[in-house]
Chains A and B, each alone.
Chain A
Amino acid sequence: MNRILLIIQREYLSRVKKRSFLIMTIVGPILLSAIGILPAYFASMPEPDRTVMVLDKADILDRDKGSDRISLKYIGPPAEYTIEEAKEQFMLTEDYALVYIPTGSGWDPDFISQNIVIYGKEEVSLGIKSFIEDLIRSKIEDLKLRNQGVDPEVIAQVRTRVKAKSINIEESGIEEESVVEGKMVIGFVFAFFMYFFIFIFGSQVMNGVMEEKSNRVVEVIISSVRPFQLMMGKILGSGLVGLTQFLIWMALSFVLYSAFTGIFLADKMDAIQTMAEQSAGAENVDQLKTDGLNSVMTFLDTLNIPVLIGSFIFYFLGGFFLYAAMFAAIGSAVENQAEAQQFLFPVTIPIILSIVIAMKVAEDPNGQLGFWFSMIPFTSPIVMVTRIPFGVPYWQLALSMVLLIGGFIGTTWVASRIYRVGILMYGKKITWGELWKWMKYGG
């Protein structure tokens, strides 16, 4: 077996067998799917049934019973109660909130709408607040229209829901529904994943090199293999560990996500239905349901999944190799973490810069900033993956990939020249000048 394969194998197995790898592999997808599931879960969680007490001085609610889960209870007759008395009574009950609708001096709907107060024993939930507001608004609007002599049937007919789709017209003439928010989320997830991956696995390579140097096993190894082979073996081995972890995460997250959404999907659909009934009237519910499903489907359709995954893995490995070579060179030059700091600084700057630029680029994926920083090999792995979900012209993708390959060949070459000298150098104060000298050594 080729020696470099042996090194890759040892590097890979020794890392994969570590307990920390197992823990990260299991905890990772749980966290990842939790990020995906929890908001949906909370959104779909039904609010508990509430009773709301109402002091309707303006008599505007017309003794409306509320909804399935929010029942309204009227204090009355309203004229006989002051708000102070109502509050006292409210405090004696288990009721959730007290709504006070004043009349003011005359019966002025605009005065009423501006002076409604909701009292609660604790912070009143947004759901209840908007339910009450919507209910009163529609009652006042109905009243105003009726006062203008509009037929109640006409009122019911004019209620209209507006929903705009935004559509990209491609050069080929194919129209695509754009789903900007979803794409931004995917771009960000990729960018952050890349960022953490480069940092975590890059410093693992550095520590691995430092360990070999400090426990002095390195000279034994490089009497069997070229220093370059050892360095590349370590980098490739770590990269494969990262890729393995990533693929396991994706698979596990997908399984977990499907399982959870499978369980909660029914609830969620119910929730959509209830919401629809409350806000738009029963006739629109079916429409709304299919809208929700359609938008998920069309969103997935707009993404070119093979290109997305393929190019992510490419940038994932390319970016990792580029930085891992530099981390390896630093690890070879120093003898402990503290010494490593001064050299780490300039290496981490472009990584941090990339993530800052990625934020900007997500807002304007095809702008100048996005273009240039997705070409520079030091920033392209993070900036380009942010752009990819939005669709990047193929020539740009190809150019950026070629530049990245050139970039990591370049850093690897420089790193290997520092590495071969550094791993055998002990007890010397290392400076940038020293590293420069090493690079120029022959043989």
Chain B
Amino acid sequence: MQVNINSVTKQYGDYVALDQVSAEIPTGSIFGLLGPNGAGKTSLIRILNQITGPDEGQILLDGKPIKPIDVNRIGYLPEERGLYKKMEVGEQSMYLARLKGLDSKQAKIALKDWFERFEIQDWWKKKVEELSKGMAQKVQFITTVLHNPELLIFDEPFSGFDPINAELIKNEILELNRKGTTVIFSTHRMESVEQMCDHIALISRSKFVLNGPLNEIRERFRDNTYRLEIKDPSANGNFVLPAGAILVEEKMDQNLLTKIVRLENADTTPLLRAGMEVGKIQLLSEVIPSVNEIFIQTVKESHE
């Protein structure tokens, strides 16, 4: 499912939660909605889930304005999540599945399938209050993806999950994505989703400050910084920085010399040559900024 967010604005009284926000989320992508707490991520996600409506702008799903019935095509795991404590696991899963438009028969088949996959068949008759937190999270995840949504939205997906469950769920999400499901992650912890996302949007103070495919953004933030590792440097070898280059960092570890250098342009020949004067070159690689670094830098700039 392709999602278009077109100049969406949302206000609560005098407080502007979202200010003319636009983004395109292509079908089958994993989209990271990143930003500090209170930036407007949850407001946007609630608009996508039609929990609230935008004051201005609109949401398009596959090019058409979003309709109430579209909730059946979306799976949502909120940051604040829970289940009815007194209800049995099976009964509750059936209820949530039917609220998403499945009939009892479909819901039962799908649930059986997932319960088998997670090896939790014997939980069916248990009350939720008898489950541990990790167990409840598995049930919660199943009820989010059960109706085969075309769009999955996770708000702070791995907060509260223990590492084993987090890994399990991460793999399940990637598997669903391989089958074509569009995924949106909303988080303030970039490192938790960085390797998974192919598109990101950075939100700060109710506005998108960065938005697009991750590799393009990274490309934009490349500044010709390279990492050069030289093995067994000779003591009398003289390392001459290429013209216009800046030495960012230098480190000697046993017999391995590491230099991080920012060049004037993408031509690495002068750097290689300088390295060869000193010793045997083991590695030359470009240092690409992490999403976290991009994020911090962008937020700082946008505040200035």
A residues sitting closer than 8 Å to B (CB atoms) are 1, 3, 6-7, 10, 14, 212, 215-217, 219-227, 420, 424, 426, 437, 440-443
Chain A nearest CB, measured from B243 CB (Å): 57
Q: When the two chains form the complex, which single residue of A223, A420, A424, A437 contacts B76, counting CB atoms closer than 8 Å? A: A223
A6 to B50, CA, bound (A): 19
Give Cα A6 to B85, complex, Å. 18
Which A residue sits closest to B12, measured CB to CB? A441
The contact sample of 28 A-B pairs, CB cut-off 8 A, is: A1-B103, A6-B95, A6-B99, A7-B99, A14-B84, A215-B83, A215-B85, A216-B78, A216-B82, A217-B81, A217-B83, A220-B77, A220-B78, A220-B81, A220-B83, A220-B96, A220-B140, A223-B51, A224-B100, A225-B71, A225-B99, A226-B68, A227-B51, A437-B13, A443-B10, A443-B52, A443-B54, A443-B55
A3–B99 CB distance below 8 A: yes
Ranked 5 nearest A-B pairs via Cβ: A216-B82, A443-B53, A224-B99, A219-B78, A223-B76
Could you tell me the distance between the alpha carbons of A220 and B142 in the complex, rounded to whole angstroms?
Answer: 13
- The residue from A3, A14, A441 contacting B87, defined by CB atoms under 8 A apart: A14
- Min CB distance B105 to A, Å, is 13
Query: Cβ of B51 and Cβ of A222 under 8 Å apart?
Result: yes
Q: Give the residue name and chain of the A residue nearest to B98 (CB).
A: A6
Q: How far is B152's CA from A417's CA once the two chains are assembled, in angstroms?
A: 28
Q: Are A441 and B13 in contact (CB under 8 A)?
A: yes
Q: Given the interface contacts A6-B95, A441-B12, A443-B52, does A224 sit within 8 Å of B84 by beta carbon?
A: no
Q: B11 near A: Cβ within 8 Å?
A: yes
The size of the chain B interface, using a CB distance under 8 A, is 34
Write the chain A residue with the least CB distance to B71. A224
Q: Nearest Cβ distance between residue A109 and chain B, in whole angstroms?
A: 78
Q: A14-B87, A223-B50, A437-B13 are in contact. List 11 more A-B contacts (CB 8 A).
A: A1-B103, A217-B81, A217-B84, A219-B78, A220-B81, A220-B96, A223-B51, A226-B68, A227-B51, A441-B13, A442-B53
Q: What is the 8 Å Cβ interface bit string for chain B, positions 261-299, against chain A (1 contact, 0 not)?
A: 000000000000000000000000000000000000000
Residues on B with beta carbons closer than 8 Å to the beta carbon of A222: 51
Whether A14 contacts B86 by the Cβ 8 Å rule is yes
Which residue of B is nearest A437, CB measured? Answer: B13
- Which of A3, A212, A216, A220 has the most B CB atoms < 10 Å from its CB? A220
Q: Which residue of A lies closest to B74 (CB)?
A: A223
Q: A424-B51, A437-B13 are in contact. Are A224 and B82 (CB under 8 A)?
A: no
Q: A6-B99, A216-B81 are in contact. Are A442 and B11 (CB under 8 A)?
A: yes
Q: A14-B86, A440-B13 are in contact. Are A1 and B78 (CB under 8 A)?
A: no
Asked whether A219 lies within 8 Å of B81 as measured between CB atoms, the reply is: yes
Chain B residue nearest in CB terms to A224 = B99
B49 contacts the other chain (CB 8 A) = yes
Question: Across the interface, do A215 and B84 meet the contact criterion of CB distance under 8 Å?
Answer: yes
Chain A neighbourhood of B51, CB < 8 A: 219, 222-223, 227, 424
Complex: chain A residue closest to B80, CB-CB: A216
Residue of B nearest to A421 (CB): B12
A437: chain B residues at CB < 8 Å are 13
Q: Which one of B50, B52, B74, B76 contacts A220 once the chains associate, using CB atoms below 8 Å?
A: B76
Contacts of B49 in A (CB 8 A): 223
Closest to B96 in A: A220
A217 to B84, CA, bound (A): 7
Asked whether any CB of chain A lies closer than 8 Å to the CB of B204, the reply is no
CB distance from B87 to the nearest CB of A (A): 7
The reply to whether the CB of B225 lies closer than 8 angstroms to some CB of chain A is no
Q: Which residues of A contact B74 (CB under 8 A)?
A: 223
Question: Which residues from A are CB-within-8-Å of B11?
Answer: 442
CA–CA, A329 to B171, complex, Å?
41
CB-defined interface of B3-46 with A at 8 Å, one 1/0 digit per residue?
00000001111000000000000000000000000000000001
Rounded to whole Å, the gap between the CB of A439 and the closest CB of chain B is 11
A221 touches B99 (CB 8 A): yes
In the bound assembly, the distance between CA atoms of A442 and B103 in angstroms comes to 34
A6 to B71: give the CA distance in the assembly, Å: 16
Contact partners of A424 in chain B: CB under 8 A: 46, 51
Assess whether B143 is interfacial by the CB under 8 Å rule.
yes
In the assembled complex, the Cα of A303 lies from the Cα of B63 at a distance in Å of 65
CA distance A181 to B103 in the complex (A): 55
List residues of chain B with CB within 8 A of the CB of A3: 99
